[in-house]
Amino acid sequence: MSSGALVLLEEMKELLPPSEQKIAEFILQKPEKVVRMTISELGEESQTSSAAVTRLCKSLKLKGFQDLKVRISGDLGRKKEVGTRDIKPNEPVEATIHKVTDLAVQTLLETAELLDSEEMLRAVETVLNCRSIHFFGVGASSIPAIDAQQKFLRIHKSSTAFTDSHMGATIVANANQEEDVVVGISFSGETIEVIKIIELAKKKGVKTISLTRYGQSTLADLADISLYTSPTKEANFRSGATSSRLAQLHVLDILFMSVASKQYESTIGYLDATREAIEAIQSSSFRRKKK
């Protein structure tokens, strides 16, 4: 079942016009009631109008009121999170396992619901048609950048991953306007180093893709194509931004698999060649150790 409506509403409500904001707040307060209402009833109960409800659905990029209700139902059908996400002093390992796992699963499910398939398709086509793809992220966001580079190199797509802004500026300054793509990764969408790199790429006329948390941000507004992860907030102890990093890895893996699917036969050939090369290296190393 589709879901993600309540996350969308929570993130977007401050950006909506007053009438749509009133509807969003009503839905967030009484989601169980809304799934049983007609569009006219929701307009009346929220002291707005059915036309305002329709506009809200468009603002959220949903297909209509029925789509909104289906997604709310999906949200209500999910297991409610119990207690705090943070660990407690001397907490049993079993409880920690469940807390960390529940948050990871929640983040991935929300990310899947928030991904716009049309925007992802644009990203896939852009990557398919480019010569080189350059991933840039700092801090925790550097890990998905490095992982993505490794994946794309395995299917014969020239890739770089950089975390140093000076090196990034050098790469982007020499990027080709028609053949290269720059991907900026930042959970907040406000990481100044990533913003500067994307600004530089835009000035050069190089195509850009952003990967940020859902919602308005400087980075997402700058990029030609915007991909989003769940905006789920981290627990206090998770300074490494574990769930947001998982979501970033997930989106980039979807991008990779979609590109691989579009060039299926050649991808299989490249992966086989990569596997054989690695096995040959490992076999050589093992023989040397035995001697």
Q: 254: which strand partners?
A: none
Among 148, 142, 246, 223, which Cα is nearest to 186's?
A: 142
Check residue 239 and give its pLDDT. Answer: 44
Q: What is the pLDDT of residue 214?
A: 86
Q: Which residues touch 89 (CB under 8 Å, ≥6 apart)?
A: none
* Strand 225-229 with 132-136, pairing: unpaired
Q: What are the average pLDDT values for consecutive 10-residue runs of the chain, which has 291 residues?
A: 77 88 95 95 95 93 90 76 61 85 83 89 96 94 95 93 92 91 95 96 96 90 94 56 86 96 87 84 65 57
State residue 63's pLDDT score: 86
Q: Rounded mean pLDDT of the chain?
A: 87
Give the SS3 label for residue 132: strand
Euclidean distance between the first and the last CA atom of the chain, given in angstroms as a whole number: 59
Amino acid at 55: R
**In terms of Cα–Cα distance, which of 69, 235, 73, 266 is closest to 154?**
266
According to DSSP, the residues that pair with 181 across neighbouring strands are 133, 207
Structure tokens that stand for 18 in this block: 């007053």
- Under 8 Å between Cβ of 260 and 274: no
* Token output for 34: 């809304």
What pLDDT, on the 0 to 100 scale, is given for residue 277?
85
Complete domains list, the chain, with CATH: 5-77 (1.10.10.10), 118-262 (3.40.50.10490)
Upper half-sphere CA count for residue 178 (Cβ side, 13 Å): 0
pLDDT at 266: 84
Parallel/antiparallel/unpaired status of strands 180-185 and 132-136: parallel
Q: Which residues are paired to 132 by β-bridges?
A: 158, 180
pLDDT for 240: 47
What percentage of the chain carries pLDDT values higher than 90? Answer: 56
Strands 132-136 and 158-162, bridge-based pairing: parallel
pLDDT score for 269: 85
Angle at 123 between CA 150 and CA 14, to 5 degrees: 110
- State how far the Cα of 269 lies from the Cα of 155, in Å rounded to an integer: 8
- Indicate the helix (H) or strand (E) that contains 183: strand 180-185
Element (H, E) at 154: helix 142-154
pLDDT tens for 1-20 read: 466 788 889 878 888 999 99
**Which pLDDT value is given to residue 137?**
95
3-state class (DSSP) for residue 208: strand
- For residues 217 and 226, what is the distance between their CA atoms, to the nearest angstrom? 10
| pLDDT reported for residue 86 | 65
